[in-house]
Amino acid sequence: MKLSENITGVGHLGIPTADLAGSAAWYEQKLGFRKFYEKTVWNDGKLNVVFLELKDLVIELCEQAQAGRDMQMRGDGILDHFAIDAPDFENCCRRVEDQGLKYHASTPKGAVLYENIGPKGVRGANYVGPNQEVIELCHNCSVNYGYRTGLQGWSHLAVKVSDLQASVSFYEILGFTKVGEGYLDTPDGRLYIGFVDNHGFQLELIQMTGAGLQELKSRGAGHIDHIALNVKDAKEAFYEARKAGCRVSDLVLKELPFFEHGIRYFMILGPDGEKIEINQRLSW
């Protein structure tokens, strides 16, 4: 089975934290996430995790004692921000601001219309999360949301890249298909954007240029650590990832006693070093 056929969609977004309880409460109280699982295990030291969900968007908050300083020292990463779908955009922004959310420096004055993304443009406002992660509320002006209101889960995950075509080609190996494009004019020059989709989950690949491209080269794992993709068979995926030429960062498959029967997983690195977890929830 090819890797593209093995992957069944998005699993979760991994965010490291030095304050697990505080971060979990922040997502619950301010954005309406629901905590559905928590566990403490020993994995190169004591590891505490909490999983929270907002419709189809699942976040894994990870707290590891010896990594606490590293987490606090992290800056913006290759995985730049994640976006939550907001049908009634103005009301959603007003509600989160009433909860105390502050604008991120990328949208210092609030909502922005990105008129050259998608057929009718996209509206977005970026906020700062409890671990300095960037959270965008996003409204696609081309979508008919009907009567839906409130935060709706995944809109997309933004990845800053150095070579857009190379990144599109890489994610096609993982079963993604290009579904849209656009551009954003900045003081550095024009940033070209490609959207790729896998089972309804979208990545926004942003081609950097100028000073932004140079800054990207200094980035690594940031406030957002990794994105996890689900597979039917992790053992076969491990073999196929190597066969396809992916940079597999783990020498062997790993397991953790999460959920009822555990998980099996490994990490690969994208073209710019972004971390992608290939994950199978075991059922026996």
Q: What is the DSSP string of 64-111?
A: EGGGHHHHHH----SEEEEEEE-SSHHHHHHHHHHTT--B-TTSTTS-
Provide the residue type at 237 as one letter: A
**Interatomic CA distance for residues 86 and 234, integer angstroms:** 34
**Interatomic CA distance for residues 274 and 85, integer angstroms:** 23
pLDDT at 106: 95
pLDDT at 68: 56
DSSP helix/strand/coil, 238: helix
Residue ranges and CATH numbers for the domains of the chain are: 3-281 (3.10.180.10)
Q: Taking Cα atoms as reference points, which of 180, 101, 178 lies closest to residue 137?
A: 101
Q: Which long-range contacts (CB under 8 A, 24 or more apart) does 47-53 make?
A: 48/20, 49/20, 49/258, 50/20, 50/23, 50/24, 51/12, 52/24, 52/27, 52/28
| pLDDT string in tens for the chain (284-residue length) | 899 999 999 999 999 999 999 999 999 999 999 999 999 998 777 889 999 999 999 999 999 866 556 666 788 899 999 999 999 999 999 999 999 999 999 999 999 999 999 899 999 999 999 999 999 999 999 999 999 999 999 999 999 999 999 999 999 999 999 999 999 999 889 999 999 999 999 999 999 999 999 999 888 889 999 999 999 999 999 999 999 999 999 989 999 999 999 999 999 999 999 999 999 999 87
H helical segments located in the chain: 3-6, 20-31, 68-73, 89-98, 164-173, 210-216, 234-243
pLDDT at 170: 98
Give the distance, in angstroms, between the CA of residue 55 and the centroid of all CA atoms in the same chain: 15
**Residue 45 contacts residue 64 (beta carbons within 8 Å):** yes
| Tokens encoding 203 | 């990545």
